[in-house]
Amino acid sequence: MSSLTQTACNKIFGGWQKIFTHDSSETKCKMTFGIYLPPQADDECKVPVIYWLSGLTCTEQNFVTKAGAQRYAAQHGIAIVAPDTSPRGCNIEGEDESYDFGSGAGFYVDATQEKWKTNYRMYSYITKELPDIVNANFPVLADKQSIMGHSMGGHGALTLFLKNPGMYQSVSAFAPICNPVQCAWGQKALAGYLGEDKEAWMDSDSCCLVKNYSGPTSDILIDQGQDDNFLSQGQLLPDNFLAACNSNNVPVILRMQEGYDHSYFFIATFIGEHIAHHAKYLK
């Protein structure tokens, strides 16, 4: 494992917002992540940690600078890790041609298609390499971690939680892509990274996964803006996830928020409630 390089450090709400880069063994390129360490975190006191997964086109900076999460993380004494959304600069033909595939759109899967499988390993990066780095270098509790995300990152948070029972104490999402096998974004990404066999896609679809989930349960919290244009376009499909959860008695709270769209204004409004939700399970 290569050493970390700190590229930014800012004091905020008594803690420290830091940005690091490192050479990734999973993605075979330089990766970047942000970590907020609350004032409670020091060599004498380890704190729980929440992993945040961002959406299409985002880097780690969107959450770090727009969500306003540090205030609430400081109040609850929780660290927050925000990685990038894909490998960058891998010189793969076509990786920068569209906003919804390739750079900025790793979809939190391990690609199996020849062109992408060497670098596009975001599932293994998020579930294995990044936690190992965080646990080894920062004062966090390895057995007290939760996960949340937005849009494509909401898809990632739900699927990673469901595929790894017990790894995360809780999960929440803002406007997640709930049923990617049934929407244009998901079909493009899953076909591109995993191939045309649709049976292989189901292991990366939260609706398919939750129907067979038998691990530890905590309330899954989802906020969805009613004025989200991607909701009306059929990209998100939260009702499908609600029905799938109910079919297997998995507890879920779906809150439809009047007037809110898909932006970070929406996230900033409710991020404090999401961090409080996770704190119930992390503390």
Query: Catalytic residue among 151, 172, 204, 218, which?
Result: 151
Are the C-beta atoms of 29 and 95 separated by less than 8 Å?
A: no
Answer whether 51's CB lies under 8 Å from 133's CB: no
What pLDDT is attached to residue 1? 43
Domain CATH for 38? 3.40.50.1820
Taking only the tens place, the pLDDT of each residue in 116-138 is: 999 999 999 999 999 999 999 99
| Whether 228 is catalytic | yes
- The pLDDT of residue 104: 98
* 187, burial (CB in 10 Å: exposed 0-12, middle 13-18, buried 19+): middle
Closest CA to 119 of 192, 26, 36, 18: 26
What is the percent of the chain with per-residue pLDDT over 90, rounded to a whole number? Answer: 97
The answer to whether the beta carbons of residues 271 and 62 sit under 8 Å apart is: no
| Nearby residues of 237 by Cβ (< 8 Å), 6 or more positions away | 177, 178, 179, 182, 183, 207
pLDDT at 2 over 70: no
User: Backbone phi, then psi, for 237, in 5-degree steps?
Assistant: 55, 50
Residue with tokens 């062109």: 115
Q: What is the pLDDT of residues 21-57, one digit of tens each?
A: 999 999 999 999 999 999 999 878 999 999 999 999 9
Q: How many domains does the chain have?
A: 1
pLDDT score for 42: 86
Q: Are the beta carbons of 38 and 14 closer than 8 angstroms?
A: yes
Q: What does the pLDDT average to over 63-87?
A: 98
Question: Could you write out the three-class secondary structure of the chain?
Answer: CCCCEEEEEEEECCEEEEEEEEECCCCCCEEEEEEEECCCCECCECEEEEEEECCCCCCHHHHHHHCCCHHHHHHHCCEEEEECCCCCCCCCCCCCCECCEECCECCCCECCCCCCCCCCEHHHHHHHHHHHHHHHHCCEEEEEEEEEEECHHHHHHHHHHHHCCCCCCCEEEECCCCCHHHCHHHHHHHHHHHCCCHHHHHHHCHHHHHCCCCCCCCCEEEEEECCCHHHHCCCCCHHHHHHHHHHCCCCEEEEEECCCCCCHHHHHHHHHHHHHHHHHHHC
More confident residue, 283 or 183: 183
Please compute, for residue 167, the number of CA atoms within 13 A of its CA located in the half-sphere on the CB side.
16
* Cα separation, 65 vs 84, whole angstroms: 14
Check if the beta carbon of residue 153 is closer than 8 Å to that of residue 54.
yes
pLDDT band at 64 (very low <50, low <70, confident <90, very high): very high
Of 170, 228, 274, 278, the active-site residue reads 228
Q: What is the overall mean pLDDT for the chain?
A: 97
pLDDT digits (tens, 9 = 90+) for 176-226: 999 999 999 999 999 999 999 999 999 999 999 999 999 998 999 999 999
pLDDT above 60: residue 86: yes
* Interatomic CA distance for residues 254 and 242, integer angstroms: 7
Q: Which residue is catalytic, options 22, 76, 262, 274?
A: 262
Residue 230 predicted with pLDDT over 90: yes
* Average pLDDT of the segment spanning 244-255: 98
Bridging pattern class, strands 47-53 and 140-150: parallel
Q: Which domain holds residue 224?
A: 4-282
pLDDT band at 250 (very low <50, low <70, confident <90, very high): very high
Q: Is 170 a catalytic residue?
A: no
| Residue in this structure with the two tokens 């899967």, named with its chain if needed | 109
Q: Taken in order 219, 222, 176, 37, is the CA torsion positive or negative?
A: negative
Mean pLDDT confidence for 149-153: 98
Reply yes or no on whether 219 is catalytic: no
pLDDT score of 3 more than 90? no
